């Protein structure tokens, strides 16, 4: 079967295996079919040699977290993300991955009213303990949230779908920080309801392209700040995804919020650092995809008493978009390694710039916090979330 992978990109892999120790699914299973090298070999067998799409082959592709830790580790510059995205798009088009229920759930993300109503119902059910813990919903998930208000038109703050429905307080903290630096903020709200990152993961690239075109048309001119690493990575990829100069120009205006704040720190009011020891968890989409994870350290350093590094070289935590829901056992095994690294430094908080990672870690009792919440607490005296 033609998986529609660029042959040149597919042939770039020399099967050296140097990426294996950086692959979370290989680390917890020791199974070659669950490694980047194994998955690429299977892609070649299917695309070049016409090998059948057996259950085992589909399982190998399905269990990839799409963390792209292998890309960072690869000395041959293999664009693994492109290989897996093309594979999943082809398989989804043939109905081999991403079942109907998952497609229906994903379509709700671009419908803010439906998403808000569904989230409110989930929040109520969660309060009564009716939601399975593996969904990783925040314990304090809000039923209603105050709207964010536009304070000016210097920058957009991308608010997105699930994060806005479940964790709008993080957007509010981010907005206060950007305003404290002297910029007027326009939260994007219904202007741009969803970036399509989860659709892309699921192989529904056509939908992501549709969302990308709509977002490019509705957010002209200004910098777009993003406080979710997964969304930022997707939006920075619109140039490649759509292949137009307009999309490339849009992507160049997208900034992870820490990336944008780091060179603007001198504009923030001076404050005493908070007396907290904070471990940094690098979301894969910040470290391996956007490659701007160092900005989180730069932005946080003046505002906390101690920053702590984990000793796992940015290995994935197992959240992976919807991965923790779709593959709960693998996701928990992967998370266990991260928890061990966190225990070794024993922090007051773990700072994560991606809502999926934060929820996945928090559901096992880790006191997670967004970097913007820490900075907001330091400069605006807002209370820190309960640990």
Stretch that binds ligand SF4, among 8-16, 117-125, 247-255, 261-269 (CB under 6 A): 8-16
Are 177 and 374 a contacting pair, CB within 8 Å? no
Work out whether 19 is an interface residue with ligand SF4 (CB under 6 A): yes
Q: Which of 46, 47, 60, 69 binds ligand SF4 (CB under 6 A)?
A: 69
Q: Which of 1, 11, 16, 184 binds ligand SF4 (CB under 6 A)?
A: 16
The residue (of 26 and 166) whose beta carbon lies closer to ligand SF4 is 26
Give least dist CB 242 to ligand SF4, A. 23
Instruction: Write the secondary structure of 84-101 as one string of H (helix), E (strand) and C (coil).
Output: HHHHHHHHHHCCCCCCHH
**What is the Cα–Cα distance from 136 to 253, expressed in whole angstroms?**
32
Binding to ligand SF4, residues 193-212 (CB under 6 A) = none
User: Which phi and psi (to 5°) does residue 274 adopt?
Assistant: -70, 145
Give least dist CB 312 to ligand SF4, A. 13
Work out whether 23 is an interface residue with ligand SF4 (CB under 6 A): yes
**C-alpha R_g of the chain:** 20
Q: Which of 10, 28, 33, 67 binds ligand SF4 (CB under 6 A)?
A: 67
Give least dist CB 210 to ligand SF4, A. 25
Give helix 355-362 / helix 229-236 axis angle, nearest 10°. Answer: 150
The residue (of 187 and 320) whose beta carbon lies closer to ligand SF4 is 320
**What is the Cα–Cα distance from 17 to 19, expressed in whole angstroms?**
5
Work out whether 88 is an interface residue with ligand SF4 (CB under 6 A): no
Are 47 and 5 a contacting pair, CB within 8 Å? yes
Work out whether 15 is an interface residue with ligand SF4 (CB under 6 A): yes
Stretch that binds ligand SF4, among 19-27, 99-107, 142-150, 238-246 (CB under 6 A): 19-27
Give least dist CB 198 to ligand SF4, A. 16
> How far apart, in Å, do the first and last CA atoms of the chain sit?
51
Report CA 339 to chain centroid distance, whole Å: 19
Work out whether 225 is an interface residue with ligand SF4 (CB under 6 A): no
Print the binding letters for residues 26-65 with ligand SF4: x by CB under 6 A, - otherwise. Answer: ----------xx-xx-----------------------xx
Which tokens sit at 88?
A: 């999943």
Q: How many residues bind ligand SF4 (CB under 6 A)?
A: 27
Give least dist CB 53 to ligand SF4, A. 18
The residue (of 88 and 199) whose beta carbon lies closer to ligand SF4 is 88
Q: Which residues contact 232 (CB under 8 A, 6 or more apart)?
A: 158, 226, 254, 255, 256, 285, 286, 290
Burial (CB < 10 A; 0-12, 13-18, 19+), residue 235, is buried
Please report how many Cα atoms fall inside a 13 Å half-sphere around the Cα of residue 158, on the Cβ side: 33
Binding site for ligand SF4 (CB under 6 A): 13-19, 22-25, 36-37, 39-40, 64-70, 73-74, 76, 78, 80
């Amino acid at each position: 079967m033609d998986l529609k992978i660029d042959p040149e990109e597919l042939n770039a892999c020399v099967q050296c295996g140097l990426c294996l120790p950086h692959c979370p699914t290989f680390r917890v299973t020791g199974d070659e079919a669950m490694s980047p090298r194994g998955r690429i070999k299977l892609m070649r067998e299917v695309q070049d040699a016409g090998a059948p799409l057996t259950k085992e082959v589909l399982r190998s592709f399905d269990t990839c977290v799409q963390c792209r830790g292998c890309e960072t580790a690869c000395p041959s510059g293999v664009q693994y993300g492109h290989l897996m995205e093309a594979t999943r798009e082809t398989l989804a088009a043939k109905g081999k991955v991403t079942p109907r229920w998952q497609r229906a759930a994903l379509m709700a993300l671009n419908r803010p009213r439906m998403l808000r109503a569904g989230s409110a119902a989930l929040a109520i059910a969660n309060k009564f303990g009716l939601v399975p813990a593996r969904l990783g919903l925040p314990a304090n998930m809000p039923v209603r949230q105050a709207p964010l208000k536009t304070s000016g038109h210097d920058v957009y703050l991308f608010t997105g779908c699930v994060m806005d429905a479940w964790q709008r307080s993080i957007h509010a903290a981010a907005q206060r920080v950007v305003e404290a630096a002297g910029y007027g903020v326009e939260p994007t709200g219904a202007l741009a309801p969803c970036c399509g990152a989860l659709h892309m993961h699921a192989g529904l690239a056509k939908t992501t392209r549709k969302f990308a075109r709509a977002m490019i048309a509705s957010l002209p001119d200004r910098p777009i700040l993003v406080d979710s690493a997964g969304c930022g990575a997707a939006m920075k990829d619109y140039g490649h995804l759509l292949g137009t100069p307009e999309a490339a120009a849009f992507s160049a205006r997208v900034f992870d919020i820490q990336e944008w704040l780091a060179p603007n720190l001198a504009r923030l009011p001076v404050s005493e650092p908070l007396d907290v020891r904070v471990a940094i968890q690098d979301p894969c989409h910040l470290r391996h995809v956007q490659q701007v994870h160092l900005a989180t350290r730069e932005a946080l350093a003046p505002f906390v008493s101690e920053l702590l590094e984990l000793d796992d070289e940015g290995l994935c935590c197992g959240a992976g978009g919807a991965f923790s829901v779709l593959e709960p056992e693998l996701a928990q095994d992967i998370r266990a390694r991260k928890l061990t690294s966190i225990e070794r430094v024993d922090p007051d908080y773990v700072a994560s710039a991606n809502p999926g990672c934060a929820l996945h870690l928090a559901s096992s009792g880790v006191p997670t916090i967004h970097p913007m919440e820490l900075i907001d607490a330091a400069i605006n005296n807002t209370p820190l979330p309960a640990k």
